[in-house]
Structure 1
Amino acid sequence: MHFARSRTALALGSLVTLTALVGCSATTSPADSAGPVGDGTTLTGGPTSYPLSVENCGLTQTFDERPSRVVLMNGASVSEVESLVMLDLEDTILANTQNYGMSDMPGLVEQIDALPTGDVDMAGSFEIPAEQLLALEPDLVIATTSGGFDPSSGQSSREELAEAGIETLVNPANCAMGKEDATEEELGAFDEATVESSFDFLNLVGNVFDVQDEAQVLVDDLRGQIDAVSAAVEGKEEPTGLIVFPGMSMMTPNGMPAVFLGGIFDDVLARAGVSGALKDSGLTFTSAIDEEQLSSADVDILVVGGFTRGEDLDAEAAALFAEYPQWDAAKNNSYVTVSDGVYVGPTNAAAIDKIARAAHPDAF
């Protein structure tokens, strides 16, 4: 999952994320601003020309050919594995540790369940320990955040992996997450992530894996779906909405349900014709929200999220309505359940459609 895009969220987000191989030249080095290397989030057009160099979170990665032994770090996310799956790159995946067991897009869970896991023992950690990762002999390791390569948490650093001939990528929206020396540009990308950030990662994958045409078709299709929903609700009165993940209450300092706002969360709501209930509060993350602020929030529709297999989101909604009966959403039993689609990732269109249909049933 991708936690709230705010600088105040970086510390909490970091807690949550906690031999030369054929196909990669492993030239991990500080990016040279004078060189022609880009970040890879814009499709170059046509077949990928190798070697391909991309600047990713301040390090240059050079690919001599399409990666074929990919490991996906956990990061409490599914957006990276979903991006590869939706681009039909399952055959390149050596080990995947991303799996919610639920998704806003039908069929994705089954496809992810079928992927190899590499039989890694996470040993209670959020990420693959360094020794086990190196033993897998990947040619590319993809992490949700920079924190996925944090040696202080037992992971391999990007530099260590480069020495072993292994390239690495971090989702560009999350460079600042878990990175002590994040640039202003990286902080801005983290703060201001939108649905376009989801498309950026799909484009990056398209360039690196030589599936640019497929990435273009997918991005165009997803953007078209979102635009169609936004057009259907355009001009209609916007109800206020609140995105909560009750199952993440253990990750908040006050035990309250995790509330997500700002960045892509507000963008998803807006594209569904919903205004964030706390949009103008000046708050940026659930850790800054107290009981009084949540109680007094103007909530017309509750967006209840889940991220683990078997969560009863209907029961979670009922429990929240019992706790906050003053919300109009509670009085009208107005809620919708979501999962991965409210984060940076390729399932935004599905979540936006679900939210819009719940908020504006007469528009469809």
Structure 2
Amino acid sequence: MKHTLYALTAALALLLTGCGGEPQREAELPGAVTVENINVENYFELGANVETFDRIPERVVIIGANESELLMDLGVTHGVIAAVPSQNNPTFGIKECNRAVFDSFPPMKRSEVNAEHLLALNPDLIVAQQEFFSKNRLGSTAYWNGKGVHTMVPLNTTAPGKLNAVETIAREMKFVRDMGAVFRRDAAAEKIVADTYARIDLIREKARDVEKPKVMILDLMSSIVASYGRDKIAGDMAAAIGGDVPHTSAAVGTENIMEENPDVVFVVTYDEKEQEVEKIRENPAFRHLGFIQNNRLYPIPLKFVYGPQIRTIDAVGYMANRMYPGLFDFAVEYDFGVR
């Protein structure tokens, strides 16, 4: 199978360390590390951004719950000077295994994310999604790089209403590996990648003879209904575990959803109220569609479908539990066991 090597690596890692096992010891890589990230301006990916890190960052501003958890799952607990828990859904919060460390990070409010405030903090690295590199927030990545500040942008965080870059699990895992390289935590990064692909392989194998559902992932935004189709990370994850995910436009209307007539619909939710799900459920146009009649309309937190990074493994497990009811029972949180 495509990811057999990853599965074997993950199995060996579990035998050696187990979940929450002994701390992984890694020798620091000598010399500089070069990674290829992206240039972003006004919430738009402009192309490759090759950056060289002569040393491990020591003054890190990290914006986002998944971004923060990536550092913690890599075993990085020092050097964070500000952390913004953006997109931290109350129902799907910071993982239990990471909460104590996350609470030790100096907090920063989302409203404080602006160029003036961050300049005063004198960071050497900013980790933030594309939306924060805009004229009303931080400016461009080039602006910060020009000041000697590194930027690392999660690759699959393009604007929901745009399809300017094809988002994939492979891209998600590249970002994990690149962050591992930046912090000289390559072995920890490889464990995250291996465990993630091992779960995907497990789901595909166990569901091999099961009828594959047609899946749509919808995000009810203020002005549009965004569809996370085959070219978005959410769609790529659903397809990776066997779902039939259509190639849709970035924004869809009622007619498009009716025409696709999906078996399963995931609706992105932002808090525990899950009012977005009810808006779809109560739409009379969908009353006779299969996903309503068969009660296969499900909430899914934003952090699982937008730059999921270390939550990719949780996202595919969450989807599998609902795409193949009765076949899987994955826990909501996965502990990679790195301390």
**Structure 2-normalised TM-score?**
0.73
From 256, 261, 280, give the equivalent of 1:320. 280
Who is 2:128 aligned against? 143
Please give the alpha-carbon distance, in whole angstroms, between the structure 2 residues aligned to 1:359 and 1:72. Answer: 33
**Does residue 273 in structure 1 map to residue 242 in structure 2?**
yes
Tell me the alpha carbon deviations over residues 28-78 of structure 1, each in whole angstroms, 9 at most, x when there is no partner. Answer: xxxxxxxxxxxxxxxxx974222223343344422221112111245xxx4
Shift in Å, 1:89:
1.7
Q: Secondary structure at the match of 1:168?
A: strand
Q: Which residue of 2 aligns with 1:337?
A: 299
Say if 1:104 and 1:97 are closer, same or farther in 2 by CA, change over 3 A. Answer: closer
Which of the residues 318, 332, 335 maps onto 1:354? 318
Is the contact made by 1:245 and 1:304 (CA closer than 8 Å) also made in structure 2?
yes
Alignment partners' CA distance in 1, 2:141 and 2:258? 44
Per-residue CA deviation, residues 98-150 of structure 1 (Å, 9 max, x unaligned), is 43232388537846862535545726xxxx211111101111112222x5334
SS of the residue 1:222 aligns to = helix
* Paired-residue identity, %: 21
Residues 1:346 and 1:219: Cα distance change in structure 2 (over 3 Å): same
- Structure 2 vs 1, CA of residues 270 and 115 (structure 1 numbering), >3 Å: closer, same or farther? farther
Aligned Cα root-mean-square deviation (Å): 3.0
In structure 1, distance between residues paired with 2:53 and 2:211: 49
For the pair 1:155 / 2:138, whether they are aligned, the reply is yes
1:90 shift after superposition: 3.4
**3-state DSSP class of the match of 1:351?**
helix
The answer as to whether partners of 2:154 and 2:172 remain within 8 angstroms in 1 is: no
Give yes or no for the alignment of 1:300 onto 2:263: yes
| CA spacing shift, 1:69–1:137, aligned 2, 3 Å | same
> Is 2:197 the partner of 1:228?
no
Instruction: Write the mapping of 1:75-154 to structure 2, written as runs, cut at 5 A.
Output: 78-102=65-89, 103=92, 106-107=95-96, 110=99, 114=103, 116-119=105-108, 122=111, 128-145=113-130, 148-150=132-134, 152-154=135-137
Contact 1:104 1:350 in 2 (8 A): no
Displacement, 1:202?
0.8
Superimposed CA distance per residue, residues 237-256 of structure 1 (whole angstroms, 9 cap, x where no aligned partner): 1111221234xx2142xxxx
Output the amino acid matched with 1:140.
L
Q: For residue 228 of structure 2, what is the aligned residue in structure 1?
A: 260
| 8 Å Cα contact 2:129-2:153 kept in structure 1 | yes
How far has the Cα of 1:156 moved from its partner?
4.2
1:216 to 1:154, Cα distance in 2 relative to 1, 3 A: closer
| 1:141-220 map, 5 Å | 141-145=126-130, 148-150=132-134, 152-173=135-156, 190-191=165-166, 193-220=167-194
Q: Name the residue aligned to 1:19.
A: none
Q: What TM-score does the superposition give when structure 1 sets the normalisation length?
A: 0.69
What residue in structure 2 maps to residue 285 of structure 1?
A: 250
| Kept in 2: contact 1:96–1:115 (CA 8 A) | no
2:62 is equivalent to residue 72 of structure 1? yes
- Output the CA distance in 2 between the equivalents of 1:341 and 1:119: 22
Unpaired segments of 5 or more residues in structure 2? 1-25, 39-47, 329-339
- In structure 1, the partner of 2:21 is none
SS in 2 for 1:96: strand
Change (3 A) 1:141 1:104: closer
**Aligned letter for 2:212?**
E
- Residue by residue over 1:166-204, the C-alpha shift from the partner in whole angstroms, topping out at 9 and shown as x without a partner, is 222223445x77xxxxxxxx95xx22x211211111100
